[in-house]
Amino acid sequence: MFRKAALRSGSATIEYAIIMPVAIACVVAVIVVFECLYQQSAMQTLAEQTAEGLSMIWGHDPVSEEDIVTGAYSRESFDSKQLYWQVLPTGKYQKTGTAKGWIEKQLDSLGLLEEIEDRNAEVTVSYQYGFPLSKVKVSITAYYEMPGAAALKYIGMGNLLIIKGQAEAPVYDQKEMINVSDYIIQKVMETNAGEFINKIAAPLKKVLKMLE
């Protein structure tokens, strides 16, 4: 009887010895995947917030980091709102540079993973002109040390984790679209093309006057 109990105990010990490492490995794998997904989500959120905030205040110059965070105008930038900013986007590089610097600061404390010291994050902020709709684009690529990197080396895997975040937001303002259209019309009418348009439109103007 005691012998059978000892055999059962030994069998259970062997089973635990086989199952426990597998169970621990599964738990660790779930934690690692969660950390990676959380980091990806945090970076994507950062890209989207930056693109959205910058698009809301793109027509103001200068743009501060506080403006990007809140998406609201400060008094200084409101007083210097650019006229026809969609056609003549002065201060473009100052704005994108400010946004890029703010993103780089946020990356220092973003998420749960640590960045690799000898690999700097790649941040790109750009303004893509379009009429009537322009866009602000944000792209972030950061390099992190893979969780459990020491253990991964034993099975021939690397320790580098690359996470990317991309976002874009439309820069759209109905009033500015009217201003831009007015600006373009004025410039066209000042050229020879304007005289040609007036000649073509002259008969139509006469007809409209007759219908009044």
Q: What is the pLDDT of residues 130-145, one digit of tens each?
A: 766 789 999 999 999 8
Q: Tell me what the pLDDT averaged over the chain comes to.
A: 78
Query: Of 41, 39, 35, nearest to 147 (Cα)?
Result: 35
List the single range of 85-94, 112-121, 123-132, 134-143 with lowest mean pLDDT: 85-94
DSSP conformation class of 58: T
CB 115 within 8 A of CB 123: no
Band the pLDDT of 2: cuts 50, 70, 90: very low
Q: How far is residue 87's CA from residue 181's CA, in Å, rounded to a whole number?
A: 10
Q: Give the length of the chain.
A: 212
pTM for this entry: 0.68
Q: What is the pLDDT of residues 19-77, one digit of tens each?
A: 888 888 888 888 888 999 999 999 999 999 999 988 887 777 677 888 888 776 555 55
Q: How many helices (H) and strands (E) does the chain have?
A: 7, 3
Q: What is the pLDDT of residue 37?
A: 92
Task: For residue 135, count other CB atoms closer than 10 A to its CB.
Answer: 17
Band the pLDDT of 102: cuts 50, 70, 90: very high
